[in-house]
Structure 1
Amino acid sequence: MNKLVNVLTTTDIHGFISNGGQPPALALQEIKEKYPNSLLMDSGDFFVGNPLTTYFCDQMQVSPMVDYANKVGFDVMVPGNHDFDHGLNYLKRQVSHLNADYVCCNVFDEEGNWIFSPSTIKEIDGIKVGVIGLLTSRMSMISDFDVTTGVVVKEALPELQKQVAALRDQVDLILVGYHGGIERDLRTHDETNYATGEDETFKLVSQTPGIDGFSCGHQHRINHGQIGDTLVVQGGYRGNCFGHMTFEFNDQNKIVKRQEEIVLTETLPAKTGDFYSEEDYQNWLAEDFDLSHLVEFLKQKFTREHLGIFISLKGKTRQQVIDSFTIPYGVRIYRLTSSEYQVFSQQDWALKQENYDSNAHDFLVLTNSYEVPEYRLTDQFVDNIFDEYSYYLTQRN
Structure 2
Amino acid sequence: MTQISIAATTDVHGFLDEGLAIIPTVLEVVTADLLMDNGDFFVGSPFAAYSYDQKMISPLVTVANDLAYDVMIPGNHDLDFGLAWLQRQVSELKADYICANLKDISGTPIFPAYTIKSVKGVKVAIIGLMTAAFNQLCSRKVAEEVVVENPFVALQDVLEHLNNEESYDLVIVSYHGGLTNDPETGATWFYPSMEDQAYQLMEAFPEINSLICGHQHFTNTGIHPHQTAFLQVGTRAHYFGLQRFKVYEDHTEIIENRLLNLRNQAIDYPLGPERTMYQSWLQQNVTLSNIQSWIEHRYPADGYLLDFSARTLGEFSAELSAPFPLSYYYLPGKEIPSVSDQVLAFDPDHFYSIVAITGRLPQTRLREGVLLPLFDEIIKHTAY
Aligned residue identity for 2:11: D
2:229–2:254 Cα contact (<8 Å) kept: no
Rounded to whole Å, the distance in 2 between the matches of 1:263 and 1:96 is 31
Aligned residue identity for 2:171: I
Q: Deviations over 1:178-230 (max 9, x none)?
A: 10001101232111122120000011111123211110000111111122121
Structure-2 change in CA distance of 1:190 and 1:320 (3 Å): same
Matches within 5 A, 1:289-304: 289-291=286-288, 293-302=290-299, 304=300
What is the number of residues matched between the two proteins? 381
Aligned residue identity for 1:347: V
Rounded to whole Å, the distance in 2 between the matches of 1:234 and 1:60 is 31
Structure-2 change in CA distance of 1:300 and 1:130 (3 Å): farther
1:289–1:316 Cα contact (<8 Å) kept: yes
1:125 pairs with 2:159 = no
Secondary structure of the structure 2 residue equivalent to 1:129: strand
2:288–2:308 Cα contact (<8 Å) kept: no
Structure-2 change in CA distance of 1:167 and 1:307 (3 Å): farther
Secondary structure of the structure 1 residue equivalent to 2:125: strand
1:93 pairs with 2:85 = no
Secondary structure of the structure 2 residue equivalent to 1:13: coil
1:265 pairs with 2:257 = no
Rounded to whole Å, the distance in 1 between the matches of 2:14 and 2:266 is 20
- Greater Cα shift, 70-79 or 261-270: 261-270
Aligned residue identity for 1:376: R
Q: Which residue of 2 aligns with 1:232?
A: 230
Q: Which residue of 2 aligns with 1:7?
A: 6
Rounded to whole Å, the distance in 2 between the matches of 1:370 and 1:192 is 25
Q: Deviations over 1:363-383 (max 9, x none)?
A: 010011634222212222342
Q: Which residue of 2 aligns with 1:61?
A: 56
Rounded to whole Å, the distance in 2 between the matches of 1:58 and 1:349 is 32
Query: 1:271 offset after TM fit, Å?
Result: 7.0
Secondary structure of the structure 1 residue equivalent to 2:382: helix
Structure-2 change in CA distance of 1:290 and 1:91 (3 Å): farther
1:215 pairs with 2:204 = no
Q: Which residue of 2 aligns with 1:198?
A: 195
Rounded to whole Å, the distance in 1 between the matches of 2:188 and 2:232 is 17
Rounded to whole Å, the distance in 2 between the matches of 1:210 and 1:87 is 34
TM-score by length of structure 1 reads 0.88
Q: Which residue of 2 aligns with 1:189?
A: 186
Name structure 2 gaps, 5 residues minimum: none
Aligned residue identity for 1:223: N
Rounded to whole Å, the distance in 2 between the matches of 1:61 and 1:166 is 36
Aligned residue identity for 2:202: V
1:30–1:268 Cα contact (<8 Å) kept: no
Query: 1:3 offset after TM fit, Å?
Result: 1.2
Compute the RMSD of aligned alpha carbons. Answer: 2.6
- Greater Cα shift, 281-290 or 103-112: 281-290
Structure-2 change in CA distance of 1:326 and 1:209 (3 Å): closer
Q: Which residue of 1 aligns with 2:176?
A: 179
Q: 2:77 aligns with which of 56, 79, 82?
A: 82
1:44–1:83 Cα contact (<8 Å) kept: yes
Aligned residue identity for 1:112: G
Query: 1:55 offset after TM fit, Å?
Result: 0.6
Q: Deviations over 1:323-363 (max 9, x none)?
A: 3323443112211113223xx2x42267x998x9x999210
Q: Which residue of 1 aligns with 2:350?
A: 361
Q: 1:249 aligns with which of 238, 247, 250?
A: 247
Secondary structure of the structure 1 residue equivalent to 2:381: helix
Rounded to whole Å, the distance in 2 between the matches of 1:69 and 1:333 is 38
1:47 pairs with 2:14 = no
Q: Deviations over 1:274-327 (max 9, x none)?
A: 26522222221111235554344324543x5x4322211213321232233234
Rounded to whole Å, the distance in 2 between the matches of 1:167 and 1:130 is 8
Q: 2:340 aligns with which of 333, 339, 348?
A: 348
Aligned residue identity for 2:15: F
Q: Which residue of 1 aligns with 2:380?
A: 391
Aligned residue identity for 1:215: I
Rounded to whole Å, the distance in 2 between the matches of 1:389 and 1:82 is 15
Q: 1:313 aligns with which of 308, 311, 329?
A: 308
Aligned residue identity for 2:335: E
Query: 1:50 offset after TM fit, Å?
Result: 1.1
1:310–1:353 Cα contact (<8 Å) kept: no
Rounded to whole Å, the distance in 2 between the matches of 1:131 and 1:182 is 20
Rounded to whole Å, the distance in 2 between the matches of 1:283 and 1:380 is 32
Rounded to whole Å, the distance in 1 between the matches of 2:122 and 2:146 is 34
Q: Which residue of 1 aligns with 2:150?
A: 155
2:171–2:207 Cα contact (<8 Å) kept: yes
Aligned residue identity for 2:372: D
Q: Deviations over 1:219-269 (max 9, x none)?
A: 11111112212111111111111111111123x374245441122236989
Secondary structure of the structure 1 residue equivalent to 2:8: strand
Rounded to whole Å, the distance in 2 between the matches of 1:369 and 1:111 is 38
Q: Which residue of 2 aligns with 1:110?
A: 105
